[in-house]
Amino acid sequence: MSSLIRVVRAGLVCGVAGLLLASCAARNPGSPDVMAQHQAAAEAAAGNDLRPMMRLCTPEGVRRPPPDPDGSAIRALIQQPPPEPRQVFDNLYFVGARWVSAWALTTSDGIILIDALNNGREVDDVLLPAMRKLRLDPAQIKLVVITHGHGDHYGGAKRLVERFGARLVMSEQDWTMTQTQLEFATPAWDDPPRRNPARDIAAKDGETLRLGDTAMTMYLTPGHTMGTLSPVFDVRLGAQRHRALLWGGTSFNFGRDFGRLDAYIAATQRISGLVDAQQIQVFLSNHPGWDDSLAKMDAVQRQGTLAPSPFVIGENKVKRTLTVMNECAQVAKARYLQAP
């Protein structure tokens, strides 16, 4: 974050000396200097081990996807062969697809599922077989946390409600979005869940959900959508407990929207500030492409035991991950400011 400090200092000098000084170029968040500083800060935070996150710093990595009126683009992603489902902690299982994740957190009173894949068919073809293979009973799914209101995360929710009576958790903001104006729509996704006239559970920032012996704290991390939820919870390895953060929405696929970029910058900074205090040592995503979960699961499989877990990356690397996201959002902002 040292470049952030430099930018703030430059801004202070500017405020005193006036806008006409050459050094004040650094104050302009759209200046090439500022963009280069944020790019360098992202590179430094990424090191050699967080390279996949650097996609966020590229123009291609932040582009708004083109419309998908016949669903073919999303179906191509869905049709990739699913990875082998895996247990990754005593109480956490990957039961998702290759493009989008679903995580099952087991508790003493049933299962909390984090995200519901793209549609009911994918639930039937991928998620439920994955759970059964891992000896998890889908009838035990009590809560489905939908990290944000895009169809690759809510599309299968209706099926889970109909088949198992699961309760759905989403933020107030994204309940509103999915019940009024969808940001993206494609026929590859099932309709968003609706429990008319009432919504199901609307999680608030900082609120703790409880199921049996398990607590999950929901943080509102707006940007990817304005109601993105990032849950924080404990994962266990024998007698050891580790605090895990599941970042609920990573890419800037909303295009040139400064309000959302600013929200994302603030959210990553805020959560980074919680990492040491809460000893967050595990960073998970809802897409395997962001948290390298497929390679980590392969490593777990090779070693034949869950511990030591490659998912336990430590506080410093969790903070570096959030810094890459934060700095790349500032690169994106600077890039948009430079463009006419």
Chain positions contacting Zn ion, by CB under 5 A: 150
CB of 120 or CB of 155, closer to Zn ion: 155
Cis peptide before 52 (omega within 30 of 0): no
CB of 100 or CB of 112, closer to Zn ion: 100
**Beta carbon of residue 111, minimum distance to Zn ion (angstroms, whole number):** 23
CB of 91 or CB of 321, closer to Zn ion: 321
CB of 186 or CB of 281, closer to Zn ion: 186
The residue sitting closest to Zn ion, measured at its beta carbon, is 150
Locate the DSSP E strands across the chain.
86-89, 92-94, 103-107, 110-114, 141-145, 167-171, 201-203, 208-211, 214-220, 229-237, 240-247, 280-285
Per DSSP, the three-state class of 45 is helix
**Beta carbon of residue 94, minimum distance to Zn ion (angstroms, whole number):** 18
- Using alpha carbons, select from 277, 246, 315 the residue that is nearest to residue 94: 246
CB of 28 or CB of 253, closer to Zn ion: 253
**Beta carbon of residue 150, minimum distance to Zn ion (angstroms, whole number):** 3
Radius of gyration of the chain (CA): 20
**Beta carbon of residue 339, minimum distance to Zn ion (angstroms, whole number):** 23
Cα distances (angstroms) measured from residue 235 to each of 189, 230, 290: 31, 15, 19
**Beta carbon of residue 138, minimum distance to Zn ion (angstroms, whole number):** 24
Q: Which two tokens stand for residue 27?
A: 């104050």
**Beta carbon of residue 227, minimum distance to Zn ion (angstroms, whole number):** 11
Distance CA 55, CA 58 (A): 5
CB of 150 or CB of 335, closer to Zn ion: 150
CA 213 to chain centre: 25
